[in-house]
Chain A
Amino acid sequence: MKNATRRGFGVVAGVAVLALTATACSGDGSDDGSGDAADAGGQVTIKVSTFNNFGFGAPSGTRPGADLWKKYEAEHPNVKIEETVAASSDDARAAFNTAISTGTGAYDIQAVDVDWMPSIMAQPDAFVDLGSVAGTNDWLDWKKEQGTTPDGKVVGLGTDIGPEGICYRSDLFAAAGLPTDRADVAALLGGDSATWDTYFEVGQQYTDTTGKAWFDSSAAIFQGMVNQIQYSHVDADGNIIAGTNPDVKAAFDKVTAAALKGQSAGLQQWSDDFNAAFKSDKFATTLCPAWFVNNIRGNAGDDFKGWDIADVFPGGGGNWGGSFLVVPEQSKVKDEAAKLAAWITAPEQQAAVFAAASNFPSSPTAQADPTVAGKTDPFLNDAPVGTIFANRAKAVTVVPFKGAQYFDIQTKMADALNRVDVTKEQTPEQSFDQWLQDVKALS
């Protein structure tokens, strides 16, 4: 016993020593990194937080990237860039909120999803005005507007936008006797005058023929629908209109009705099952904002054959997602960070990102760039994604207003849809009522 404990003590002591040496070697990033951001030699470390896949970094595994950090570092030898990738927009938002609240933990550059950009715009004083560094960068008008306060302060520089097409499985379409050519599929869904009704009608045909689901997730479809409503959960004055808005209720009813008729694969967005299912034959279509192509490819695997994209979208065009870069005032290297944010959102870099990954430029100049306009995607059966997404972007007519409360209300809406679609424990009415309660609790 005595020997045994002495050995135990020895092990712990040994490990402790190991610890001290280990951290002595590698500790610098893990401790208080912001303090020594700019040291004597003019060296600057810029910490960047992104989520999902922005395509800025070196390509690794299933994450495509344009390797832009390296390029910037080569042009600016005194700069070192550290990017941290959060798993998702939600995770990034939670981490960012806690960081900004503590006054110390925030990154020098933070990527912000359009859905929670309004909560950033509600506290413009906490962020650097990027108007002066933006230079010759250009953005679509509505994109620029979303990142600019009413009095003209540029809080966020736009990265990508998320114009949506319809991604479909041509092999499953063929098996169901549906057309497989992407122009025919676009026509099947209604072409330029495509509506959600047509989408669900064709879906019903598919489901009745094959016994399989038409789309992946009700919450995903609803995202597409809600992004076409100018004022969904919050009105222009910031009042919560969730619950009284007939458009939202109509969209909810439509998608849940389709789900109850077997059109939904009943997958909860971003769940393990959801990710795994892009390799399966469980569903035939999914809404396809440009950035989502990265996800489909990542989930299905590079060599997976079958996915294709049609230049069509129900209910007019739609934009889902797309992000901004902001620089918190807390940053100790905010001038350098602002310069980097401006550089990486410049047309040239936006084009490079789309070429490598699938995040569609928010800059008209970049969109016109031949590498963008001419891009085809081998994963999507060599679809001319450059033209398709450009067309899809042009079709966007409604720029939804999202107040500061939008994100939370929409999150609860996803829960409500999942109660009907994924866990199947409530009727649409029960679930909608519970959503109204949830919204009330948000005040």
Chain B
Amino acid sequence: MTATPVAPDKPQQSPRPAHDATLERRLRARGRRGRLDVRLSPYLYISPFFLLFLVTGLFPLGFTAWVATRQWNTITGDGGVAVCGATCGTTDPSVLANFQWVLHQPAFWDALRNSFSIFLISTIPQIVAALVLAAILDANLKAKTFWRMGVLLPYVIAPSAAAIIFSQIFSDQSGLINTFLGWVGISPVPWHANTLASHIAIASIVNFRWTGYNTLIFLAAMQAIPRDVFEASVVDGAGRVRQFLSVTIPMLRPTLIFVIITSTIGGLQIFDEPQMFTQGTSGYGGPNRQFLTVSLYLWDLGFNHVSIGQPNLGRSAAVAWLLFLIVVVFAIVNFLLTRRIASAGGAHATKSRTKEVAR
């Protein structure tokens, strides 16, 4: 849904009814078998996707909702309608009990705060850096491919592996950064203890992997800007920086919006980095939940700290649904925002695209 407003340009050739009509007329002459072929084939072609998607995407959605209303333990299974228990001071079964329980947990709210914070800290510098890098790469460089591949290299490193490496860099006492700081007489940064510091550390693992990727996306968009626009701005007496800010950036708006939206969806689900960033083997997300994210909370609740007698999978499912609702709200806000921004500039293309897709 969020993708709709920034869906790619309608390609030059849209399915023209005229063609379809001729095609069908000719085919109709080909008898029953051919007609059946024509009529059924489209469904046949989309069915593998939809069947698989039904099993792995759609059915789980509904099933999660069901589990979320139950006292479902990972080991012992379904234990009846959910009960909130001591947390909300009631033992009455209710389909909303797991949601109530989750909303009563300070851990959930901390996780939400952290997810947003890490998302912001990872997205904003990443986009700024990617824009600047793209601007540099947009020039007539020697060995273009080398530089482009160079910035993209971290993309093939799995986030979990990157996180292991960075945990050696960000260790509180023996890590590379704090050792260096110690050498120059600066007091060490509590990377795992301080909430903001931990978010910065995790965000830098995210940025390590994705900055180059976004750079290339922006680079492609920049190269698509007609050069006469730049020429006009030069005639108007704009300097390089001025040109970047008032010509390049506005022209990149759709791409920017797109990158922001995808970063949001991804950022709210961040898991690998905070999981591997956790020190020791318990207390995932830090002893005071400094960097516990919603996804990490979901996993810890449902799969990591499993005890008989707790409806942990039910509560985990409730977290999943709350996460879903948050993403949907975000998507709608994004959608409305981008519509407004889109209508400010270059609107026609986006609108027709939206219509096309929605048809």
Contacts and interface: CB of A to CB of B under 8 A. Distances in A.
Q: In the complex, is A directly touching B at CB under 8 Å?
A: yes
Interface string B286-330: 111010000000000001111111100000000000000000000
B287 A407 contact: no
A261 interface: no
Contact of B173 (A122, A273, A416): A273
Contacts of A268: 192, 279-280, 283, 287
A97 B310 CA distance: 13
A425 B193 contact: yes
A88 B174 CA distance: 21
Contact of B168 (A272, A411, A415, A437): A272
A148 B171 CA distance: 43
Contacts of B223: none
Given A101-B74, A441-B105, A273 B174 contact: yes
B74 A88 contact: no
A270 interface: yes
A440 B193 CA distance: 24
Interface in A245-281: 267-274, 276-277, 280
B288 A101 contact: no
B193 A443 contact: no
Nearest to A270: B280
A98 interface: yes
Given A101-B74, A440-B86, A269 B280 contact: yes
Contacts of A407: 307
Contacts of B272: none
Contacts of B279: 268, 270-273
Interface string A81-114: 0000001111100100110110000000000000
B171 A273 contact: yes
A411 B173 contact: no
B281 A91 contact: yes
A100 B75 contact: yes
A370 to B, nearest CB: 37
B172 interface: yes
A419 interface: yes
B182 to A, nearest CB: 13
A443 B282 contact: no
A404 B308 contact: yes
Contacts of B167: 272
B262 interface: no
B85 interface: yes
A442 B306 contact: no
A423 interface: yes
Contact of A423 (B105, B173, B287): B287
B287 A442 contact: no
B85 A94 contact: no
Contact of B308 (A119, A276, A415): A119
Interface residues of B, number: 38
Given A98-B303, A272-B167, A418-B287, A88 B86 contact: no
A207 B313 CA distance: 47
Nearest to A116: B307
A123 interface: yes
A426 interface: yes
Given A101-B74, A442-B307, A90 B87 contact: no
A278 to B, nearest CB: 11
A272 B287 contact: no
Contacts of A383: none
A320 B178 CA distance: 33
Contacts of A91: 281
B307 A423 contact: no
A204 interface: no
Contacts of A269: 280
Nearest to A123: B308
B88 to A, nearest CB: 11
B93 interface: no
B174 A423 contact: no
B161 to A, nearest CB: 16
B174 A276 contact: yes
B154 interface: no
A268 B193 CA distance: 11
Contacts of B310: 442-443
A442 B87 CA distance: 9
B106 interface: yes
A419 B193 CA distance: 8
Contact of A443 (B86, B286, B304, B305): B86
A349 to B, nearest CB: 27
A424 interface: yes
A424 B193 CA distance: 8
A405 B312 CA distance: 14
A411 B283 contact: yes
Interface string B1-21: 000000000000000000000
A302 interface: no
B192 A423 contact: yes
Nearest to A426: B288
Given A97-B75, A272-B168, A418 B283 contact: yes
Contacts of A282: 173
B167 to A, nearest CB: 6
B106 A437 contact: yes
B115 to A, nearest CB: 20
A220 to B, nearest CB: 11
A38 to B, nearest CB: 26
A422 interface: yes
A273 B288 CA distance: 18
Nearest to A91: B281
B193 A422 contact: yes
Interface in A157-205: none
A408 interface: yes
Interface of B: 74-77, 85-87, 105-107, 167-168, 171-175, 190, 192-194, 279-283, 286-288, 290, 303-310
10 contacts: A88-B281, A119-B308, A272-B175, A276-B174, A277-B173, A282-B173, A404-B308, A411-B282, A426-B288, A443-B85
Given A280-B174, A282-B173, A441-B87, 8 more contacts: A89-B281, A90-B281, A119-B308, A268-B280, A414-B283, A423-B192, A425-B194, A437-B106
Interface of A: 87-91, 94, 97-98, 100-101, 119, 122-123, 267-274, 276-277, 280, 282, 404-405, 407-408, 411, 414-416, 418-419, 422-426, 434, 437, 440-443
